[in-house]
Amino acid sequence: DAGVTQSPTHLIKTRGQQVTLRCSPKSGHDTVSWYQQALGQGPQFIFQYYEEEERQRGNFPDRFSGHQFPNYSSELNVNALLLGDSALYLCASSLGWANQETQYFGPGTRLLVL
């Protein structure tokens, strides 16, 4: 039973560039959430996708966008990168978005913006 997978594991970009991060949910899950974790802090909710639509969004600018595919996998896109976007980006999957189902996290993608 495959858990949540994310790619790439590490990424280095420069300011102003764009980045795409990828996530495959745990087998049987249909909902994907994305979180940003700055060093020394807890994860912060970015948004959540279910049935290929964004269902909830945290306090993040429009530079952060996403997509969910028919196979439930998801992408997080960040445009016009800022130094402050350097963080660990975590994907979590769960079953259903309206219920309080347990979210299981992937290993994350470490993004460094120079």
- What is the binding site for another protein (CB under 8 A)? 4, 31, 33, 35, 39-45, 48, 55-56, 58, 90, 92, 94, 96-108, 110
Instruction: Give least dist CB 16 to another protein, A.
Output: 25
Q: Which is nearer to another protein, 16 or 50 (CB)?
A: 50
- The count of other CB atoms within 10 Å of the CB of residue 113 is 19
Residue 102, classified by CB atoms within 10 Å of its CB into exposed (0-12), middle (13-18) or buried (19+), is exposed
Q: Which is nearer to another protein, 52 or 101 (CB)?
A: 101
- Residue 4: name the closest of 28, 20, 38 by CA: 28
